[in-house]
């Protein structure tokens, strides 16, 4: 039996894409269930933001063993930015991280984000998608900031869900 590498790679990619779709849709399925159980007095945005916070804290804890300060502050920030960009890549997005003009900043850009598409299937407003992504990333930084004793933050300059064509996020060390 002859091995067809293209066919096998196609199968793997097809499975990967199916898994990526399910990951994103699962977030919104759980959001929908939480809203149904919470009742009428709960704001959907509050549920989405809390879920993003929990998700981000968990991701932040998982990143800690992969980060180090051995090559200095600029390399640390760039590696952290790449890890944040990787969150989109894992979901099927296209994202990169680049050094900023200052050694204490990195820019993360994402030109393809599947989350707005998934959100539309569950009638989630695009403003919520933008705010939950921002909340999730800030939550990732909380434990990283404490563990490395460096005050970190992000600033969302552009967001796909706001109709700006791409995500552009500035990751930076806050001035003390």
Comparing C-alpha atoms, which of 101, 103, 90, 98 is closest to residue 169?
98
pLDDT category at 91 given cuts 50, 70, 90 is confident
Domain spans in the chain, listed from the N-terminal domain onward = 5-173
CB-based contact 99:74 (threshold 8 Å) = yes
pLDDT on residue 7 = 83
**What integer pLDDT is reported at residue 92 of this predicted model?**
87
**How many Cα atoms within 13 Å fall on the side-chain side of residue 166?**
11
Show the DSSP H helices in 123-166 as ranges: 126-148
Distances (CA, A) of 84 to 20, 72, 94, 136, 171: 17, 19, 12, 10, 10
In this prediction, residue 107 has a pLDDT band, given cuts at 50, 70 and 90, of very high
Position 109 pLDDT exceeds 80: yes
- Which CATH superfamily hosts domain 5-173? Trafficking protein particle complex subunit 3 (3.30.1380.20)
Q: Where are the extended beta strands (E) located within the chain? A: 94-99, 105-112, 152-158, 167-173
Q: Which pLDDT value is given to residue 173? A: 95
Distance CA 104, CA 114 (A): 29
Asked whether residue 20 carries a pLDDT value surpassing 80, the answer given is no
User: Residues near 58 by Cβ (< 8 Å), separated by ≥ 6?
Assistant: none
Question: Which tens digits make up the pLDDT trace of 34-66?
Answer: 999 998 889 999 999 999 999 999 999 999 888
| pLDDT at residue 1 is higher than 80 | no
How far is residue 79's CA from residue 85's CA, in Å, rounded to a whole number?
10
Q: How much is the pLDDT for 3?
A: 78
Structure tokens at 173: 């060390």
């Amino acid at each position: 039996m002859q091995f067809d590498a293209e066919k096998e790679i196609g199968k793997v990619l097809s499975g990967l894409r199916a898994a990526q779709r399910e990951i994103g849709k699962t977030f919104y399925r759980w959001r929908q269930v939480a809203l149904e159980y919470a009742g009428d007095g709960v704001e959907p945005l509050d549920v989405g933001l809390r879920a993003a916070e929990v998700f981000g804290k968990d991701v932040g804890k998982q990143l800690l063993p992969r980060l180090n300060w051995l090559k200095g502050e600029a390399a640390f920030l760039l590696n952290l930015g790449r890890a944040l960009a990787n969150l989109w890549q894992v979901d099927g997005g296209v994202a990169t991280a680049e050094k900023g003009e200052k050694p204490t900043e990195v820019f993360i850009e994402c030109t393809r984000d599947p989350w707005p598409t998934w959100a539309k299937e569950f009638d989630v407003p695009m403003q919520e998608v933008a705010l939950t992504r921002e909340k999730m990333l800030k939550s990732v930084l909380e434990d990283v900031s404490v563990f490395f004793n460096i005050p970190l933050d992000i600033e969302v300059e552009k967001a796909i869900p706001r109709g700006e064509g791409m995500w552009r996020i500035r990751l930076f060390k806050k001035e003390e």
